[in-house]
Amino acid sequence: MIKVGIIGGTGYTGVELLRLLVGHPQTKLSVITSRGEAGRKVADLFPNLRGHVDLVFSEPDTKTLAACDVVFSATPNGVAMTQARELVAAGTRLIDLAADFRLRDPAVWEKWYGMPHACPELLAEAVYGLPEVNRDKIRKARIVANPGCYPTAVQLGFLPLLEQGLVDAAHLIADAKSGVSGAGRKAEVHTLFAEASDNFKAYAVAGHRHWPEIKQGLETATGKPVGLTFVPHLTPMIRGIHATLYARLAKTDMDLQALYEKRYANESFVDVLPAGSHPDTRSVRASNVCRIAVHRPQGGDTVVVLSVIDNLVKGAAGQAVQNMNIMFGLDERTGLAAPPVLP
């Protein structure tokens, strides 16, 4: 049994991680910390876990955490990097669900997250945890940077095109729509039900922290600079991301459907839909699957890719569990096999 610790875990990513670990046959949840909720029963905060999780939130304590085989950090950005050295030194492997280890260049991290990086040397060895790209590196990684939700949906949608150099990489467009849980379990006015319900809006058009992360991933895939216009939107649903991706094809005689099917043929969690399909976000609700459809409207030179995930699962906690499975040599699907919940 893998001994698991969780840092943070009072947000939506945390409760989802707990839900998935409850059903995971090879893990034992050993400790969960929270400065704000220390002493409170986990199941009091998250009533869905009554009868499933008996743990009490405890004060953060690196020694206890370092006794675990793996620690998931589900805290706000900037926390995991202050604890990483100690954990790694103790032989504990770290999966960070925040952004601390996602951007390879510490200067870029500092620019977008507004603080210097606390352990650049670990940043250098951290592995970006997108299994469909880095599976082999993840296996041996001491630190895995779990990808952001938008970056997961957008990269999985664009990768086959960019890896083959089939599109004008200088002018990619990602129009992405997220459910409101993506904003986290924070008391804020703009995500109140009475504000966000029966409403739709774009935000952060001038610049979103997931932009450099996506750009980095796409540039790695294609091997040259990428120009990306990324527009995130808030849509009145709890879970789900729908990325609608646009690119100009260098040539139009490719069988794009075959390209996508081949690229993801051996991936358990990427489902390429039949030609002509339109994936629903609900078709992946509460599951670790990414469903993709590829279109070339009116036979023109613009390719349209539709990519959907559950932002809390493949976009966060599920992908983290998938990474853990890889790191510990388990079948990648362990604990992640339940079908999506629909309706």
Minimum distance from residue 299 beta carbon to its own copies (Å): 10
Minimum distance from residue 18 beta carbon to its own copies (Å): 8
Retrieve residue 318's tokens. Answer: 């599920």
230 binds its own copies (CB under 8 A): yes
332 binds its own copies (CB under 8 A): no
Minimum distance from residue 233 beta carbon to its own copies (Å): 7
Minimum distance from residue 127 beta carbon to its own copies (Å): 27
Retrieve residue 221's tokens. Answer: 């895939």
Region from 24-32, 87-95, 119-127, 274-282 binding its own copies, contact rule CB under 8 A: 274-282
Minimum distance from residue 61 beta carbon to its own copies (Å): 26
252 binds its own copies (CB under 8 A): no
Judge whether 172 and 158 are in contact, CB under 8 Å. yes
Sheet containing strand 143-145, strands side by side: 27-33, 2-8, 70-74, 93-96, 143-145, 127-128
Distance (Å, whole) CA 145 – CA 130: 9
Minimum distance from residue 39 beta carbon to its own copies (Å): 17
181 binds its own copies (CB under 8 A): yes
Tell me which residue has tokens 């809390």: 312
41 binds its own copies (CB under 8 A): no
Which of 103, 196, 214, 321 binds its own copies (CB under 8 A)? It is 196
Residues 282-301 that bind its own copies (CB under 8 A): 282-287, 289, 291, 295, 297-298, 300
* Alpha-carbon separation of residue 2 from 28, 222, 234 (angstroms): 6, 36, 37
Which of 59, 110, 229, 252 binds its own copies (CB under 8 A)? It is 229
Residues 52-91 that bind its own copies (CB under 8 A): 52
How many Cα atoms are found within 13 Å in the side-chain-facing hemisphere of 10?
20
Which of 36, 198, 251, 329 binds its own copies (CB under 8 A)? It is 198
Instruction: State which residue, 81 or 166, has the beta carbon closest to its own copies.
Output: 166
Which of 8, 148, 279, 315 binds its own copies (CB under 8 A)? It is 279
Distance (Å, whole) CA 210 – CA 245: 15
Radius of gyration of the chain, Cα coordinates, nearest whole angstrom: 19
39 binds its own copies (CB under 8 A): no
- Whether 149 is a known active-site residue: answer yes
Sheet containing strand 270-272, strands side by side: 201-202, 228-234, 172-178, 241-248, 302-309, 290-295, 270-272
Distance (Å, whole) CA 280 – CA 307: 9
Give Cβ neighbours of residue 98 (< 8 Å, ≥ 6 apart): 73, 74, 75, 76, 77, 78, 79, 80
Region from 29-37, 107-115, 130-138, 192-200 binding its own copies, contact rule CB under 8 A: 192-200
Positions annotated as catalytic residues are: 149
